[in-house]
Amino acid sequence: MKSIQWIFGLALIMSFNGCSSPESVSTLQGHGTKTVYNASYDRVWSAAIAASQTGDLYVLNADKSRGYISTKRGWRPTTFGENVGIWVRSISPTQTEVEVVSKQAGPPVLVLRNWETRLLDSIAANLTAT
């Protein structure tokens, strides 16, 4: 009986804490952290794909024609994970903008992790390395 109460309580907390899903994050373009890189769309896209596969993240979906990458970090003892959306948009032949939105998959447990700056820095590092 206690486990049912615990599960119900957890579900109730999650419903009031704005839990995210990969689908809900995909609608948040315009609400994240943006950076413009002095590189072509193809180079930035490749750097974004590489960045989105680091730090316990894994790619759920990558659509180059739409310029959208959906990533996720799963459950850990200290967190319910995060859902991350990455938008890549060409500004000119030599400039590309990237926006990252990172949302918790559930209520915070012990560690809050926001991937926005971390991924943008990783993209910059990947562009420098190539």
Q: Tell me: the pLDDT tens digits for 97-130?
A: 999 988 777 666 655 667 889 999 999 999 997 6
What are phi and psi for residue 120, nearest 5 degrees?
Answer: -60, -40
Nearest 5°: phi and psi at 59?
A: -80, 125
Containing 67, the helix (H) or strand (E) segment is: none
The per-residue pLDDT for 120 is 95
- Between CA 68 and CA 71 the distance in angstroms is 10
Q: Is the pLDDT of residue 23 over 80?
A: no
- Choose between 103 and 20: higher pLDDT: 103
Q: How large is the average pLDDT for residues 65-92?
A: 85
Residue 118's CB is within 10 A of a number of other CB atoms, namely 17
Predicted TM-score (pTM) of the model is 0.75
What are the boundaries of each domain within the chain? 20-129
Q: Which residues pair with 95 in a beta bridge?
A: 92
Q: Does domain 20-129 have CATH number 3.40.50.300?
A: no
